Structure 1
Amino acid sequence: MPAPAHDTLLRRAEELDPPDQHHIDGVDEPGGGASFAVVSPRDGRLLVEVADAGSAEVDLAVAAARRAFDSGPWPRLAPADRGRILLRVAELLQEKREQLALTITLEMGKPYTEAHDIELRAAINTFRWYGQLADKLTDESPHTSPDALALVTREPAGVVGAVVPWNFPLTLASWKVAPALAAGCTVVLKPSENSPLSALLLGRIATEAGLPAGVLNVVTGDGPTAGRAIGLHPGVDVLAFTGSTAVGRHFLRYAADSNLKRVWLELGGKSPNIILPDAPDLERAAATAAWGIFFNQGEMCTAPSRLLVHSSVAERVTEAIVARARELRVGDPLDPATEMGALVREAHLDRVLDHIGTGVDEGARLLAGGERTLHHTGGSYLRPTVFDRVEPGMRLAREEIFGPVLSVLTFDDLDEAVRLANATEYGLAAGLWTSDLSTAHRVSRALRAGTVWVNCYEEGDLTVPFGGMKQSGNGRDKSAHALEKYTELKTTWIQL
């Protein structure tokens, strides 16, 4: 179904009534009266003042989750019954898809078409997939001695604190919340202060779907206060975080300083995308490289921000990407014709511009973009940016920029390509373009990354796990493996 017209979306956006309170114990909760502004990067306008959680509100949410886990029905429901409620959440997400997509677009700046067609599809599919999986998990009974019976059972781990970022606010919340609920856990969800509104709507939707009070609680606030309170809280058993590597370190410290809660981290990336001369289709490889770095304004931890291209085809590939960068339509994210929206906040735009300035100062060649645009809107817009002549030691090649900035590096042989690809503290994802099956297998094995895409990028579904190596984190989202984060193995040995 085509997106509504621009004027229709503008009118519907004006009619939105954003949530402004925490969702705790099944009801909206105003908290202690403190609030913070949620400003749209689309035009710099205030969307709403949202309740700002301190330690008291976090205590309230954790207490509700604790009661729901220790004495409530959710962990004790038959898995099939839990699954039915998760399927109902998916149905309601579908029914409210336009409202949620508009909310995401206004709060973090991505084009409405991407919020509706990609982000909401992922969130809906996640709740549906784990709803269908809930009653299909099995325990173990290992073969042991004839006079004993051994049982290995999976039990819900307890109260989960889930702290998620702003770039895919509903998708990444769903990747944490849905498997945790399927396992029988209860959850305290803290979205980014840049994108709290869609998560608050998710809390309401889950309650409407029949989730018992206290099973999913949503508190809004910043990282140093609300996030820290969740990380240090002795009533939280498991912490699942997606965000920067620097903040991930804080959560490990919080666990060490409190109850040694398990901490699962999906952190930053500086993903290499390797194009070999025998790529099956160089034009498609270049187009995909451009799409990958400019999609979602480049605000993706998996963004292929380092293009490693063989010197024999580097000029051809780079020219194609530069041409795409120059024609890409940057504009109002509520306009269905827009291909790249606004960066999440003015401060983030300034940070990306600082990286671009450093790249120029260090000697990289700016081929496209590198400057803000649409000043008159009041929004945070940047032209798609491409650098070549990037050296491995430059800041452009080492640090995560989290914006639409591509760094092109060249190599002359396969060993050099692998060395360059692995020359980073991150290990989240990588891409490889080749027609040789042996090369595809050998290089994929050699790359230190949690996901390697061959002759594609950002492909996959919920059957496969997602997560990183090295300083990109630990544990996995998606697939049945995600349940490992939210369950404990118990051994029962019965002497016969």
Structure 2
Amino acid sequence: MTLLPDAKLFIDGELRDATGGATFDVISPWTGEVVGKAADAAPEDVEAAIVAARKAFDETDWGSDENRQNRFELVKKYRELFEQNRERLAQLAIHEAGAAQGAVYRAHVNMALDGWDDYLAVFPKVEWEKDYGEKEAFGAIHKRVGVREPIGVVGAITPWNVPLYVNIGKVVAALLAGCTVILKPAPDTPGMGAIFGELAAQAGFPKGVINVVFGSDPAQAGEMLVTDPRVDLISFTGSTGVGKRIMEKGAATLKRVFLELGGKSAKIVCDDAPNFPMEVAMTMLVFHAGQGCAVQSRLLVPKSRYEEAKQILKGAYMHFGDNWGSAEDPEHIMGPVISKRQMERVKSYIDLGVEEGATLLHGGQIRTDKGGGYFVEPTVFVDVTNDMRIAQEEIFGPVLVVIPYEDDDDAVRIANESNYGLSGGVSSGDHERAMRIAKRVRTGSMSVNNGMCIAGDIPFGGYKASGMGREWGVEGIEEYTDMKMLAWPVGQVEAA
């Protein structure tokens, strides 16, 4: 039974079918059944989107200084249209991304739209012109000014886990900067991309400023964007493996690349944490089935309290019980994983953890009793060492690993012995101790005593294999600009 409207491409100001009318099925993670149809873009469609975006940037005043306030107002109008479609956004999050209702109005919709508001709020703080003062050279005095300009055509390649949030993070920042955009959402969640085209048409964006293309082949459109010299910047959120390929393929055109990649973030709970049981229990990896790049999937606890932590987690997971996996229950925050492929991948890591010698404290099963979709029950491993693959590799599912440490130095060592560096956390009753630990962990964001380190008005991004560049905040808008230096003589040096 089809529940979602057909997802259409948006190219050069027009909602349209794919060349030849090809479509592909959108599958519900809840049922494993077809929930909608989406246009299956051909190479000709991607080419048309590139041509449209290039023309809009090169031949209109979209990115000009004079148009800056006008595009700000248009992006505000665009935001209002998304507000009017809040319930539709919720349905897309549920039926495409597999979001449980308790998660929909948090990360999937509310946090995403709040991030849009944050972009609008910080936009006036962007420094479009910077005075570098005067300098004497060659017998003259020179005035130097830096001006910030939009980089050009942006290819925004986005994932399926929290699609609205990531789409907003890229598209809105690029538009405010004055760029034109080609949004390429994941094939699992085309509708959450298509709505950007539909509402852009309603908002009245100039032709070619926003384009949306997607297809059943997860790589085809992205490869075209990455390798085409007419695309100036690629902003990608997804796996580290794909990010490396984008860097490699983009190098031929010296394309700027912004990558927000995987994570294996550690939460360090110190022995003096003021509410040790709560700090341990709240690390249960259940929200949206653990499908988040910045989730804290490694829990580090002191050896002196390790057995206590095991019992706390055992009780917490038992208490959580079967309160997950219903699309109708507004209290549920965990649903299925996105696809059969992902379900099998997560299960393979669970099996690997057992083979590696870790102790399966809770969960570990595929739950066919939940329905025909892709349900993996909440899972936690203890007796884990940091060299195990389940401790080193991103599982992207509801699987938490718990690792003991000796002292603060050991905790920092374990946290840093990872290819990733996206986020993390530390809890201690001594704020200065927590800060010392946080500053030593090599990661792009760190929550100290549950501080909110990820929000739309501050920059977000990773170290090491977790990527490069920053999204959100003023820095997220500036990511889509270049700095041009202007200098001119303003006087002669007086002879001595």
The bucket for the TM-score relative to the shorter chain is over 0.9
1:373 is displaced (CA, Å) by 1.2
Residue 260 of structure 2 corresponds to 266
More deviation, 412-421/279-288: 279-288
Rounded Cα–Cα distance in structure 2 between residues aligned with 1:91 and 1:324: 41
Task: Choose the corresponding residue for 2:410, options 405, 416, 433.
Answer: 416
Q: Which residue of structure 2 aligns with residue 102 of structure 1?
A: 91
Q: Distance in 2 between matches of 1:440 and 1:401?
A: 27
For the Cα contact (< 8 Å) 2:2–2:34, is it kept in 1? no
Q: Distance in 1 between matches of 2:402 and 2:452?
A: 19
Distance 1:83 1:442, change over 3 A: same
CA contact (8 A) 1:40 1:47 kept: yes
Residue of structure 2 aligned with 1:302, choices 291, 294, 297 = 294
Q: Could you tell me which residue of structure 2 aligns to residue 9 of structure 1?
A: none
Conserved in 2, the CA contact under 8 Å of 1:285 and 1:455?
no
CA contact (8 A) 1:26 1:217 kept: yes
Which of 380, 383, 392 is the equivalent residue of 1:389? Answer: 383
**Cα 1:97–1:91, aligned 2, differ >3 Å: closer, same or farther?**
same
Instruction: Give the % identical residues.
Output: 38
1:440 maps to which of 434, 442, 447: 434
1:83 matched residue in structure 2: 72
Q: Which residue of 2 aligns with 1:49?
A: 37
Alignment partner of 1:142 is 2:135: no
1:315-344, CA deviations, whole angstroms, 9 ceiling, x for partnerless residues? 223322232223331222332132310110
1:89 to partner: Cα distance? 1.9
- What's 1:112 paired with? 101
Structure 1 residue 15: Cα displacement = 8.4
* Alignment partner of 1:231 out of 226, 229, 236: 226
Letter in 1 for 2:427: W
Q: Does 1:74 align with 2:62?
A: yes
Q: Which residue is 2:481 aligned to?
A: 487
Q: Distance in 2 between matches of 1:256 and 1:197?
A: 31
Q: Tell me which amino acid in the other structure corresponds to 1:420.
A: I
Shift of 1:136: 4.1
Counterpart in 2 of 1:379? Answer: 373
1:231·1:251 contact (CA, 8 Å) conserved in 2? yes
Q: Distance in 2 between matches of 1:478 and 1:376?
A: 37
Helix, strand or coil: the match of 1:142? strand
Map of 1:18 onto structure 2: 5
Q: Contact 1:265 / 1:474 at 8 angstroms: preserved in 2?
A: yes
Once the 2 structures are TM-superposed, how far is the Cα of residue 172 of structure 1 from its aligned partner?
Answer: 0.6
Are the aligned partners of 1:82 and 1:131 in contact in 2 as well (CA < 8 Å)? Answer: no
State the match for 1:127 in structure 2: 116
Tell me the distance in 2 between the aligned counterparts of 1:26 and 1:135: 28
Which secondary structure state, in structure 1, belongs to the residue aligned with residue 251 of structure 2?
A: helix
Following superposition, the deviation at residue 24 of structure 1 comes to 1.1
Alignment of 1:334-483 (within 5 A): 334-375=328-369, 377-456=371-450, 459-483=453-477
Partner of 1:319: 311
Letter of the 2:236 counterpart: F
Task: Give the aligned length.
Answer: 480
1:162-201 → structure 2 map (5 Å cutoff): 162-201=156-195
What are the superposed Cα offsets for residues 270-307 of structure 1, whole Å, 9 maximum, x if unpaired? 111111111121132123211xx211110011111111
Amino acid aligned to 1:99? R
Residue deviations 1:154-189 (CA, integer Å, cap 9, x gap) = 000000000010101010111111111100001001
Give the C-alpha shift of residue 355 in structure 1. Answer: 0.2
Q: TM-score, normalised by structure 1?
A: 0.93
In structure 2, what is the Cα distance between the partners aligned to 1:458 and 1:62?
38
After superposition, what is the alpha-carbon deviation per residue over 1:55-107, rounded to whole angstroms, capped at 9, x for unaligned? 21111111111111111232135322211111122212111111111111101
Match of residue 493 from structure 2: none
Secondary structure of the residue aligned to 2:487 is strand
Q: For 1:188 and 1:299, how far apart are their aligned partners in 2?
A: 25
Three-state SS of the structure 1 residue aligned to 2:63 is: helix
Contiguous gaps of at least 5 residues in structure 1: 1-13
Q: Distance in 2 between matches of 1:352 and 1:341?
A: 14
Between the aligned partners of 1:490 and 1:314, the Cα distance in structure 2 is 55
Task: State the 1:406 CA deviation.
Answer: 0.6
- Write the distance in 1 (CA, Å) between the matches of 2:432 and 2:406: 19
Q: Secondary structure at the match of 2:332?
A: coil
Q: Is the 8 A contact 1:79 1:135 kept in 2?
A: no
1:58 maps to: 46
Contact 2:382 2:403 in 1 (8 A): yes
- Which residue is equivalent to 1:4? none
Q: Does structure 1 retain, via aligned residues, the 8 Å contact 2:144–2:488?
A: yes
Cα contact 1:432–1:453 (8 A) shared by 2: yes
Distance 1:72 1:16, change over 3 A: farther
Is contact 1:97-1:116 (8 Å) kept? no
**Distance across 2 between alignment mates of 1:479 and 1:245:** 23
Q: In the alignment, which residue of structure 2 is the partner of 1:39?
A: 27
Distance (whole Å) between structure 1 residues aligned to residue 374 and residue 463 of structure 2:
32
Task: Give the whole-Å Cα distance in 1 for the aligned partners of 2:394 and 2:4.
Answer: 35
The residue that corresponds to 1:6 in the other structure is none
In structure 2, how many angstroms separate the alpha carbons of the residues matched to 1:213 and 1:197?
A: 21
Distance in 2, Cα, partners of 1:94 & 1:168:
17
CA distance in 2, matches of 1:260, 1:453: 35
Contact 1:73 / 1:212 at 8 angstroms: preserved in 2? no
Q: Secondary structure at the match of 1:49?
A: strand
Rounded to whole Å, the distance in 2 between the matches of 1:17 and 1:400 is 31
Which of the pair has more CA radius of gyration?
2
d(CA) in 1 for partners of 2:401, 2:376: 16
Name the amino acid aligned to 2:18. Answer: G
